[in-house]
Amino acid sequence: MDKLNFGVNSRIATLLSNEYSSTERALIELIDNAWDADATRVLVDIPEPLSGNPIVVSDNGNGMTVDQIRTHYLQIAADRRRRSGDSSIRFKRKVKGSKGIGKFSGLMAAAEMRVDTAVGGRRVKLSFTLEQLKDVDGIDELEIPYTVSVEDEHVQGTTITLSQLRQGGAYPDAVELRHLLVQSYGRRQDMVIEINGKPLDVDDVQGHFEEKAISVPGVADLTVRFALSERKTGMKSPGIQIRVGSRIVGRPSLFGLDQRGDISPKLLKKLYGEIDLEGVVDANVASWETLVAGDPTWALVQDRVRDALYESYQARFKRHMSLARARLQQQFNKRMAELPEYKREFADKAIMKVLNRYSDEPHERVAPMVAVLLDALESSDYRLLLEHIAGASSADVSKVADSLNDFGLADMAHLVDQARARTAVLDALEDLSRDKSTLEATMHRALESNLWVFGPEFALFSSNKTLRRMVEEYLDQKYTGANATDRPDLMLKQNFAGEYLLIEFKRPAHTLTVSDYQQATGYRHHFGPFTSRRIRVYVVGGDRGAFPTSNLEPDVVGTSFFDVISMARTQLDWQLK
């Protein structure tokens, strides 16, 4: 029996130290290898725990010769893209594997890994175990016996068998594996994956699954199959995929749900499904654009599908929105009671619209929006003016112009009232900042809901969140960096440009130092890799003191509470004039 040896690249120490986050993701590495080998079919068998049966992953890909196993497969940590390019050999797929350690992924779930691969009339078999790896000083010293046998020249592919499975918490879950795979491979037509005999499908998304019949006048009934994921981060490629028979047309569509304005973007990302329009639209339609522009039945189909999806969204998240509404009503009950009856009805509908639009946002982010809404209702009669404009729109041009003029005068009056009220707020803030006993937390609390002080373009993004929570909750990415428990005092996001403003408060008695500059920019360094957006930094204290004035990083400002308040007062004075 001949023997093979591993070849070790200098990247091995770094790569092997990065463990797979779960056994399911380790198995996905084996499936990705089948993708890179131009497989069109992959079968995965995951036995019941404690059954003693192995996990088997088999594909009909290119297979490997002894020479390919020696020079490619057993070359650990060698960059596959550098060796063979970014595309697969046969189908020119964009390859997924590049680290060169995928052959070890199976050992996360099992103690023994057997490889059976065939191509060109030859079948090669080899195996290695965790114990073997432990018994040698260096992995390159491990001798791996292999056998070669004659095979039908038309048979090719690779089968990985994982035996002596780990039975603890690391045992792979077929349901979890399907959910992960459907996001990467569920919409592909060129590689079918079956887990325990079941091909990947829409119902493999973990969440609420439905099949709805759609009745379109003049068209045979259609069926839209979709799931609303229960995962916090949603789906990688959300929407309903259009199929015409076996062909996929265009990218997944939200069917106009994103235009309604009362379903939040995060909830829209939970939608995953498909609809087959065979027999409804031209079977030779080449693209999504052609479908939308050229088929007269498309508009009808879109309307019916959108209504059906919206109905399911309402039913699925109604209880969640009702609870959020109750919390807000409790918080703003007194202000709601003081509104005229017709305004209460309008406020109730408006608040519900806000809740629909931001139903998955935390309470502390929705409450300020409702507060602004009630401010407008309390201070000026916008609703009557808007009704007046709507009524005038069917009359002559001069009445429309008069109505718009009335609205402008009322709007200006509201701004003047607001400016006067904000001047009083600045007076109180100035008193706090002059009192040397005022704590940092006190200034934070006073300014957290008065962010207009820093400029009218800023709105609250998150308050006193750790860097980890900001990254994971608001950017939908896993944060694994250092200093994950550090937190800036406020993180603001501009409305119009999507930029960020990071504010670090110091107590009014504190004079700013170089260390304050380093602390605030350090927060930006931790947060920066998770977004491409511009991040401005403000450091606010009692006096600018020794805060650096030269060689600063871009977009860093050190200032005093007095200067911030003075700038805001100047803006209000201009508005009043």
Which pLDDT tens digit goes with each residue over 311-330? 998 888 776 666 766 777 77
Same structural domain, 541 and 463: yes
User: Hey, what amino acid is at 326?
Assistant: A
Report the chain's mean pLDDT, rounded to a whole number: 78
Say if 416 falls within a structural domain.
no
Over the stretch 360-418, which tens digit does the pLDDT of each residue have?
677 677 777 777 777 766 655 555 555 555 666 555 666 666 666 665 665 666 667 77
Say if 388 falls within a structural domain.
no
Q: Which two tokens stand for residue 213?
A: 């019949």
Say if 372 falls within a structural domain.
no
Over the stretch 478-524, which tens digit does the pLDDT of each residue have?
555 555 556 566 666 655 566 778 888 888 999 999 999 998 888 88
β-bridge partners, 126: 115, 146
- Residues with Cβ < 8 Å from 357, sequence gap 6 or more? 261, 262, 263, 264
Confidence of residue 110 (pLDDT cuts 50, 70, 90): confident
Same structural domain, 547 and 479: yes
Query: Where residue 108 sits, what CATH number does that domain have?
Result: 3.30.565.10
Q: What is the pTM of this model?
A: 0.57
**Angle between helix 174-185 and helix 23-36 axes, rounded to 10 deg:** 40
User: Hey, what amino acid is at 320?
Assistant: H
Question: Does residue 542 have a pLDDT over 70?
Answer: yes
How much is the pLDDT for 394? Answer: 53
Q: Which two tokens stand for residue 390?
A: 């709507």
Which of 181, 196, 211 is the C-terminal boundary of a domain?
Answer: 196
Same structural domain, 25 and 89: yes
Same structural domain, 100 and 239: no
Determine the Cα–Cα distance for residues 476 and 469; give it in Å rounded to an integer.
Answer: 10
Say if 426 falls within a structural domain.
no
Residue span of the structural domain in which 538 resides: 435-576
Same structural domain, 35 and 172: yes
Say if 15 falls within a structural domain.
yes
How much is the pLDDT for 13? Answer: 39
Numbers of helices and strands, H then E, in the chain: 18, 21
Same structural domain, 133 and 266: no
Say if 341 falls within a structural domain.
no
Question: Does residue 131 have a pLDDT over 90?
Answer: no
Same structural domain, 127 and 186: yes
- Write 67-70 long-range contacts (CB < 8 A, 24+): 69/4, 69/115, 69/117, 69/124, 69/126, 69/146, 70/4
Which range (73-82, 126-135, 430-439) has the least confidence? 73-82
Same structural domain, 181 and 222: no
Say if 541 falls within a structural domain.
yes
Same structural domain, 285 and 168: no
Same structural domain, 181 and 217: no
Which of 166, 196, 226 is the C-terminal boundary of a domain?
Answer: 196
Say if 385 falls within a structural domain.
no
Same structural domain, 170 and 35: yes
Quote the number of domains for the chain.
Answer: 3
Which of 144, 177, 196 is the C-terminal boundary of a domain?
Answer: 196
Query: Where residue 487 sits, what CATH number does that domain have?
Result: 3.40.1350
Same structural domain, 17 and 138: yes
